[in-house]
């Protein structure tokens, strides 16, 4: 089934908020009915809004639900409902899922929250940067220097280990063991059961844990590693480690990919309409200032930023409008 148009979803969300408000009148309901019947995609958009409302009703921990349960003022309640309604069902479910941390992430010794980055030095002199929403443990033994990445992304510049002649530095993920061969590299959990390995200096040996052949990834290369295989390496973007300096660097990057990356640093939902998804982004943007980035995008691209709630942002075409 074709996804509802972004504009129809915006309008359906507004109508949903209007009709859920206790002050909704018979005239409001009549105007909503006329709106519903006068556009080919509006029934589908309305069904999506209702489905999302059902998903939302089952979720206890969302800040917006808590605002409703506390009895927000009518205008605030309407804005909350409108913001919820436009989030696609799959996106809402995905957002909730990625925020529900596995127990290992909860008890990991080193963690970052959404939008937080942290730098540390390990006992062997290795420098480690944890990206947004990440968790890891460190386990140094007489035979192994081990980093266990439970969630998110880590970048490591390996130190010189004087303790033992043969004590390799490894990063363990559920899919693979990644062994540093004197290097600077990053490991990141991705959807679909993979970890992404990017090597900036030296080499890293990627060993899938379910018997796949090992693969050595060299400086300037990246690969995805699954439990049973490591994909052939591809050329690495030179800006792949700029997040350690708090920047997101784009070189002809698709807008939807840019927003997906930016959204990892935002404690909420950030979406992109398909009609503007292929617009290209160039430049360096501060990860810690979402408002500044969105303002820059809206000033330089034919887009409009919708923000019905602080935790929900949608980017659509400049010509789009809601029923406001």
- pLDDT at 273 > cutoff 80: yes
β partners of residue 148: 137, 172
- pLDDT at 75 > cutoff 60: no
Domain extents in the chain: 6-98+246-317, 103-240
DSSP, res 159: P
Smallest Cα–Cα separation from 156: which of 197, 114, 215?
Answer: 197
167 Cβ neighbours under 8 A, 6+ residues apart: 142, 143, 144, 145, 161
Tens-digit pLDDT profile for residues 169-220: 999 998 899 999 878 999 999 988 899 999 999 999 999 988 888 999 999 9
DSSP, res 5: P
- Give the tokens for residue 21: 């408000």
Smallest Cα–Cα separation from 39: which of 13, 11, 17?
Answer: 11
Q: What is the 3-state secondary structure (H, E, C) of 197-265?
A: EEEEECEEEEEECCCCCCEEEECCEEEEECCCCECCCEECCCCCCHHHHCEEEEEEEEHHHHHHHHHCC
Looking at per-residue pLDDT, the higher value among 24 and 92 belongs to 24
User: What is the C-alpha separation between 324 and 310, in angstroms, rounded?
Assistant: 18
Q: What is 6-98+246-317's CATH number?
A: 3.55.50.30
The pLDDT score that the predictor gives to residue 156 is 96
Decide the pairing of beta strands 194-201 and 221-225.
antiparallel
Long-range contacts of 142-147 (CB under 8 A, 24+ apart): 142/167, 143/167, 144/168, 144/170, 145/169, 145/170, 146/170, 146/172, 147/122, 147/171, 147/172
- pLDDT at 276 > cutoff 90: yes
Q: What is 103-240's CATH number?
A: 2.60.120.1440
Cβ–Cβ contacts within 10 Å for residue 207, how many? 17
Handedness of CA 179, 181, 187, 193 (dihedral sign): negative
pLDDT confidence band for 285 (50 / 70 / 90): very high
């Amino acid at each position: 089934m074709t996804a509802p148009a972004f504009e129809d979803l915006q309008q359906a969300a507004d109508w949903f908020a209007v009709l859920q408000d206790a002050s909704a009148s018979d005239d409001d309901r009549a105007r909503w009915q006329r709106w519903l019947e006068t556009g080919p995609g509006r029934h589908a958009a309305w069904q999506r809004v209702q489905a999302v409302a059902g998903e939302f009703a089952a979720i206890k921990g969302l800040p917006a639900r808590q605002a409703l349960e506390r009895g927000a003022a009518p205008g605030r309640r309407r804005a909350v409902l409108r913001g919820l309604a436009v989030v696609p069902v799959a996106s809402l479910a995905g957002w909730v899922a990625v925020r529900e941390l596995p127990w290992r992430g909860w008890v990991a010794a080193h963690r970052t929250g959404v939008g937080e980055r942290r730098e540390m030095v390990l006992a062997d002199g290795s420098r480690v940067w944890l990206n947004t929403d990440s968790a890891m443990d460190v386990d140094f033994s007489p035979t192994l220097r081990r980093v266990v990445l439970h969630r998110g992304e880590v970048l490591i510049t390996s130190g010189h280990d004087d303790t033992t002649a043969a004590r390799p530095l490894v990063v363990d993920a559920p899919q693979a063991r990644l062994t540093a061969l004197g290097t600077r590299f990053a490991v990141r959990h991705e959807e679909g059961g993979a970890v992404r390995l990017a090597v900036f200096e030296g080499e890293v040996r990627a060993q899938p844990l379910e018997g796949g052949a090992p693969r050595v990834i060299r400086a300037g290369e990246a690969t995805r590693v699954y439990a049973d295989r490591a994909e052939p390496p591809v050329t690495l973007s030179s800006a792949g480690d700029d997040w350690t300096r708090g920047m997101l660097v784009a070189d002809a990057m698709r807008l939807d990919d840019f927003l997906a990356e930016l959204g990892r640093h935002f404690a909420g939902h950030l979406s992109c309409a398909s009609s503007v998804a292929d617009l290209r982004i160039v430049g360096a943007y501060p990860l810690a200032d979402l408002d500044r980035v969105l303002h820059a995008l809206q000033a330089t691209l034919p887009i409009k930023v919708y923000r019905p709630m602080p935790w929900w942002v949608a980017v659509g075409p400049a010509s789009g409008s809601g029923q406001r």
